[in-house]
């Protein structure tokens, strides 16, 4: 059975696929999203929703994209709720990076200077000021860096809002697992995708945005895309009742510790996250829960007294060099790739989606993607 023709087929219903569908459909393109499970069923549905480029690697090529993607996030926080009625919890909230030791303070001050050279100012605050900013802090610290440019949001709501807005502009969602590309008269041109049940979905262009499963696409396009899964577990804490102590006022972490505590406007506090190479295992473990809580308890005793409301595990897509693959697939005219953003997929999703929409519509984009070219995987 053949399904209707679309201008663009997007394989993957995560945040990048859904935002690209939104930008394309709003521009008048006929878009079909093909998803094997449910919208935001992967990392996009359980991400910490912290819009920071500083949670993984300080890569200049990626950091250069951060101002643009934050600008787009702010635009989306105003536009999407109006179009769909879904508040995705975007909030400009402070974040504290603490130092527990003199060496940690020196490291943070050096890091502060690096950020200032990039144009991002962060203010050093005293231990007393840090506790005033965030009364959850109970440890003796050497001080903290205060950042005002790392908002938070609910990633599931963002993804859901994006796909609903795309549908409003005519996009459709097809359920099915893609097993390959269909080809035209030349091997350089795709005419659609084949699903596991043998049916085909026709399209004028194909975007592969399936996160940690992108490695399977290597055989489809005849070029390597070495994206692998990395498990990230998170623990969720209930907001305190009036008699249970102060509200969490900011996110926080310590340079000497693993993990962070993220304040969310609409959802419970997030404590995360692990980085585990366990293949496609999405199970949660007591060991990860205890590790995360014990790490953050060194900064805040309140972490141990707060009520645990849940625990999740997601699979992040990681690449050998830490940079995502974003651009046209090697040796193809109309096949594109957007995957491999590791722990920062939510942060970089708008700028990635805009760049992909530009490339697919106009064959060019003003966003510099040279360092993210998928063809580099074949030369590594």
pLDDT at residue number 380: 53
Quote the number of domains for the chain. 2
Q: Note the pLDDT tens digit of each residue in 46-65.
A: 999 999 999 877 899 999 99
Range of the domain at 271: 95-149+229-318
pLDDT at residue number 171: 98
Contacts of 317 (CB under 8 A, 6+ apart): 43, 211, 212, 214, 227, 228, 229, 230, 324, 339, 340, 341, 342, 345
Burial of 128 (0-12, 13-18, 19+ CB in 10 A): exposed
pTM flag (> 0.85)? yes
Q: Are residues 349 and 247 part of one domain? A: no
pLDDT at residue number 2: 59
Residue 325 lies in a domain: yes
CA distance 166 to 21: 6
Domain's final residue, options 294, 318, 342 = 318
Q: Per residue in 276-292, is it b (16+ CB within 10 Å) or e — as a string?
A: beeeeebebbeebbebb
pLDDT at residue number 4: 58
Q: What is the mean pLDDT of the chain?
A: 94
Q: Helix or strand or coil: residue 79?
A: helix
Give the residue-averaged pLDDT of 301-314: 94
Domain's final residue, options 271, 300, 318 = 318
In angstroms, how far is CA 2 from the centroid of its own chain? 33
Residue 90 lies in a domain: no
pLDDT at residue number 104: 97
The first and second tokens of residue 271, run together, are 């404590």
Contacts of 252 (CB under 8 A, 6+ apart): 95, 96, 97, 98, 134, 136, 137, 144, 260, 261, 299, 300
Q: Are residues 142 and 128 part of one domain? A: yes
| Across 183-187, 221-225, 365-369, least confident range | 183-187
Q: Are residues 163 and 302 part of one domain? A: no
DSSP 94-146: -EEEEESSHHHHHHHHHHHHHHHHTT---EEE-HHHHHHH-TT--S--SEEEE
Q: Are residues 276 and 255 part of one domain? A: yes
């Amino acid at each position: 059975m053949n399904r209707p023709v679309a201008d663009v087929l997007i394989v993957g219903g995560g945040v990048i696929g859904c935002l690209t569908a939104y930008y394309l459909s709003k521009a008048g393109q006929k878009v079909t999203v093909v998803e094997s499970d449910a919208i935001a069923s992967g990392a996009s549905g359980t991400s910490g929703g912290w819009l920071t480029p500083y949670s993984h690697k300080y890569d200049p090529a990626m950091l250069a994209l951060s101002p643009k993607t934050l600008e787009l996030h702010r635009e989306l926080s105003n536009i999407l709720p109006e179009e769909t009625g879904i508040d995705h919890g975007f909030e400009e909230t402070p974040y504290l990076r603490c130092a527990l030791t003199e060496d940690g303070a020196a490291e943070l001050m050096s890091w502060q200077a690096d950020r200032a050279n990039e144009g991002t100012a962060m203010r050093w605050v005293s231990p007393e000021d840090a506790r005033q900013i965030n009364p959850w802090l109970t440890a003796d610290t050497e001080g903290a860096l205060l950042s005002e440019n790392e908002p938070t949001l609910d990633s599931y709501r963002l993804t859901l809002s994006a796909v609903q807005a795309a549908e409003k502009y005519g996009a459709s969602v097809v359920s099915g697992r893609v097993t390959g590309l269909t080809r035209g008269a030349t091997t350089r041109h795709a005419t659609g995708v084949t699903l596991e049940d043998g049916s085909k979905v026709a399209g004028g262009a194909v975007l592969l945005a399936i996160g940690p499963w992108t490695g399977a696409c290597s055989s489809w396009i005849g070029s390597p895309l070495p994206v692998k899964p990395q498990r990230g577990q998170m623990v969720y804490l209930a907001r305190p009742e009036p008699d249970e102590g102060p509200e969490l006022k900011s996110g926080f972490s310590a340079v000497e510790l693993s993990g962070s505590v993220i304040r969310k406007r609409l959802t419970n506090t997030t404590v995360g996250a692990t980085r585990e190479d366990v293949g496609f295992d999405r199970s949660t473990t007591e060991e990860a829960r205890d590790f995360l809580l014990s790490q953050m308890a060194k900064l805040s005793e309140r972490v141990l007294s707060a009520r645990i409301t849940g625990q999740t595990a997601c699979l992040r897509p990681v690449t050998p060099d830490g940079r995502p693959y974003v651009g046209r697939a090697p040796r193809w005219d109309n096949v594109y790739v957007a995957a491999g953003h590791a722990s920062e997929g939510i942060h970089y999703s708008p700028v990635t989606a805009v760049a992909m929409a530009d490339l697919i519509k106009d064959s060019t984009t003003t966003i510099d993607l040279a360092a993210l070219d998928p063809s580099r995987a074949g030369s590594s």
